[in-house]
Structure 1
Amino acid sequence: MLEIGTTAIDFTLPDEQGNLISLHSFKGKKIVLYFYPKDNTPGCSKQACAFKAAYDVYKRNDIIVIGISKDSSRSHLRFKEKYDLPFILLSDEEHKVIEAYDVWKEKKLYGKTYMGITRSTYVIDEEGTIIKTFEKANPATNAQDILEYLAQLSNEQ
């Protein structure tokens, strides 16, 4: 994971429609940037639906939610349509951004070792600085955990 206090790495990736989206275009807004392993898998679907359920709160607070996986834009489109997801999904098929954000890791499943995305989330402030990380994010609670962190942050200011 990138460290808290570092500048978020800028990137440009295609969304589910094939439109190119750049991180810097959201400067001036808080961003939740979450990395997930695969569209339409149980954990990833649960996480996406949790962000959908909390999306009104994110939108009301002018917070951008962006999900990134190595799935294709076409896969993202099907995933968004199936669950009626209201936020941005970006495709990183070559996993350059995934690697730059240090979430491409060695994993093990049933005794086999392979490389894959660790479910991780970054909260980026209006200036483009990483202010919070969630390594090995819980798919069921990640969206709410972020809102609780942001509420606590607001209370401290």
Structure 2
Amino acid sequence: MPQPAGISIGYLAERTGLAVSAIRYYEAQGLVEPWRNAGGQRRFHRADIRRLSFIMIAQQFGFSLPEIRGFLKSLPGSRTPTRDDWARISENFRSHLDQRIETLVKLRDNLDGCIGCGCLSLPNCKLYNPEDRAAQKGQGPRYLMGDRPEAENDP
């Protein structure tokens, strides 16, 4: 089956506001899949305008390119995504955002106290993190990451 005419990388750059080099980078990362016409020029699907716009929005929310690639896997590469396609991806996207929001709220609410990082530099660490129990749960700010402090008489 022959490929449709498609759109040029220059037109795609103009429509999305991305530099041509950025579009080539996203291509190299497997986020868009152009084809070559008989003259060897890249051609993109019109749906790639929306796909690249989604990538830019997801990056603004702090998602990494591997995470974005995971979101996009469920979208069709050769046709324009339907409303149902976008609803499916947005449900997954929303759950990831909800988790990030929860983490940010925890961070905001614990900025003035111990976050269980194990540094033991605050006088109240003896109350929040006696004997550096947070370090036994692993690396990083354990309480911010979802671990709960144990009661004083817990093992």
Give 1 or 2: higher helix fraction: 2
Larger gyration radius, structure 1 or structure 2: 2
Higher strand proportion (structure 1 or 2): 1
Does the TM-score normalized on the shorter chain lie above 0.5?
A: no
TM-score (norm 1): 0.29
